[in-house]
C-alpha cells in the first residue's frame, strides 16, 4: 500500500554560507500518513514543522532521507499533483481578484479553462465569498484571505490537503466554517495534514497526531489513545530493534526520549506483557506509570521530557 505521506530518515541541515554554522532543522523524521487520515503535526515554534512540510512540497531539498507522496518521490513535479496546499503567512498577489487568483493557481495545477470556470463559483460559494470574487485581494480581510486560500488549495480537488495554520486570523464563525469544510472533505476520503500550534483545533479535528520537537518526532499516535482516560506508560532503555518493532505494534503510541523508548499501552495486561518481554531481553525498565491526559498535557510532557 502506498501511503499518502511517507518519510524515511528525513534530515534537513541548513548551513550558513559565511560562518559555516549548521542548524539541524529536521532530524531523521520517519512518518507515515495513511490515505484518508486526518493527521495533525504539532510542535513548538522552531520545532521543524514548516521545514518538514516544505520538504514534502519540494520547496526545500532534504539533506538526507526521502519523502514520498502517494508512492512518488516528492522531488518529482508529478508527486505534487494530488496536493492542495495552504501556506502559513501566505502572500497572495494583491493585484489579483479572488476569481483570477483561483483561475491562476487552478491553471498551474493542470486544470483546463472549462473546468476552472465551473469550479471557481462553486468554491467561492463554499468558502462564503461568492460576492467577493471580483474584488481585489488587497481589499480582503485576513480571515477572507485565509478562506480564499483554502479555496485555492481545493481548486483541483486534491487527494491530499496540507494546511499550515489554516485558521490563523480567522474569526470563530470562519473557523467553524473551515472545520465544516474539512469534515466534508474527510467524508469524501481526502487526506488532511494539518500543521498547527492550536492544540484544541488539532484535538477537535485530527485522528492521528505527531509532535515534533527540535527536529525530531517526540511522540506520535492516535489522538484518542494519547488522550485516553487511562493508559500505562512503560519506559525502557537498551530496547533491541526487533522487540521495539513488536511492541510498537501493540502500543497506542511510541516516543523516543534521551535514548530511551517510551510505550503507551491501553491496558494493564498489555503493559505487564511488555514489561515481561523487555525484562526477558534484559532491558532496563526506567519507569512504569498510569496516564490520564488531554492533548495539551501530552504535548507539554512530550516537549519537556525530550
Partner 1 sequence: MNSKTLGVTLALVRDTFREAFARKIVWGFFGCSTALILFFVFIMRIDVVQGAIATVSLFGNTTRSLDVQRLVRQAHGAIAAFLFTAGMFLAVFASAGLIPSVFEPGRIELLLSKPVERYHILLGRYAGNVLLIAANIFYLVFAVWLIFGIKTGVWTAGFLWSSALTVYMFAVLLTVVVLVGVLWESAAVTTMVTFGIMIVSPILAQQATLERLLTSETSRNIVRGAYYALPKVFDLGRIARSLVLGDRIDNWMPVWSSGLFGVVVLGAGIYVFARKNY
Binding footprint of partner 1 on the chain (CB under 8 A): 14, 54, 57-61, 77-81, 83, 85, 87, 89-96, 100, 103-105, 107-113, 152, 162
**Min separation Cβ 174 and partner 1, Å:** 20
Minimum separation from the CB atom of position 171 to partner 1 (A)? 21
- Cα–Cα distance between 221 and 251 in angstroms, integer? 9
Nearest to partner 1 of 135, 228 (CB atom): 135
Closer residue to partner 1 (CB): 79 or 210: 79
Residue 256's H or E segment, with its range, is strand 253-257
What whole-number distance in Å separates Cα of residue 163 and Cα of residue 186? 14
How far is the C-alpha of 163 from the C-alpha of 190, rounded, in Å? 13
User: What SS3 state is found at 35?
Assistant: coil
The helix/strand/coil state of 162 is strand
Nearer to partner 1 by Cβ, of 112 and 241: the residue is: 112
Q: How far is the CB of 203 from partner 1 (least distance, A)?
A: 27
Note whether 166 and 86 are within 8 A (CB).
Answer: yes
Q: How far is the CB of 148 from partner 1 (least distance, A)?
A: 12
54 versus 175: smaller Cβ distance to partner 1: 54
> Three cell numbers at 291?
496516564
Q: Please, what is the minimum distance in Å from the beta carbon of residue 34 to partner 1?
A: 21
- Continuous segment of H or E residues that includes residue 271: helix 268-280
Judged by beta carbon, residue 148 or residue 252, the one nearer partner 1 is: 148
Amino acid at each position: 500500500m502506498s501511503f499518502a505521506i511517507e518519510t524515511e530518515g528525513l534530515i534537513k541541515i541548513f548551513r550558513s554560507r559565511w560562518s559555516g554554522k549548521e542548524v539541524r532543522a529536521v532530524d531523521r523524521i520517519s512518518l507515515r500518513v495513511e490515505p484518508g487520515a486526518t493527521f495533525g503535526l504539532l510542535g513548538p515554534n522552531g520545532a521543524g514543522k514548516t521545514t518538514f512540510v516544505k520538504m514534502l512540497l519540494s520547496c526545500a531539498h532534504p539533506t538526507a532521507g526521502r519523502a514520498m507522496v502517494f508512492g512518488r518521490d516528492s522531488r518529482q513535479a508529478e508527486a505534487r499533483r494530488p496536493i492542495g496546499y495552504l501556506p502559513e503567512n501566505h502572500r497572495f498577489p494583491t493585484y489579483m481578484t479572488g476569481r483570477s487568483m483561483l483561475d491562476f493557481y487552478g491553471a498551474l495545477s493542470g486544470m483546463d479553462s472549462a473546468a476552472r470556470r465551473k469550479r471557481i463559483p462553486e468554491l467561492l460559494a463554499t468558502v462564503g465569498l461568492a460576492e467577493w470574487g471580483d474584488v481585489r485581494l488587497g481589499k480582503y480581510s485576513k480571515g477572507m484571505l485565509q478562506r480564499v486560500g483554502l479555496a485555492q488549495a481545493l481548486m483541483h480537488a486534491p487527494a491530499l490537503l496540507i494546511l499550515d495554520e489554516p485558521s490563523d486570523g480567522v474569526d470563530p464563525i470562519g473557523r467553524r466554517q473551515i472545520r465544516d469544510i474539512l469534515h466534508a472533505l474527510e467524508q469524501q476520503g481526502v487526506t488532511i495534514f494539518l500543521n498547527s500550534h492550536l492544540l484544541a483545533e488539532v484535538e477537535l479535528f485530527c485522528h492521528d497526531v505527531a509532535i515534533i520537537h527540535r527536529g525530531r518526532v517526540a511522540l506520535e499516535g492516535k489522538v484518542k489513545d494519547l488522550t485516553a482516560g487511562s493508559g500505562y506508560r512503560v519506559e525502557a532503555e537498551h530496547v533491541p530493534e526487533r522487540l521495539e518493532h513488536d511492541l510498537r505494534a501493540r502500543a497506542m503510541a511510541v516516543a523516543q526520549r534521551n535514548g530511551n523508548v517510551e510505550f503507551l499501552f491501553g491496558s494493564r495486561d498489555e503493559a505487564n506483557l511488555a514489561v515481561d518481554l523487555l525484562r526477558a531481553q534484559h532491558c532496563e525498565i526506567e519507569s512504569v506509570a498510569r496516564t490520564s491526559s488531554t492533548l495539551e498535557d501530552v504535548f507539554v510532557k512530550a516537549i519537556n521530557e525530550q
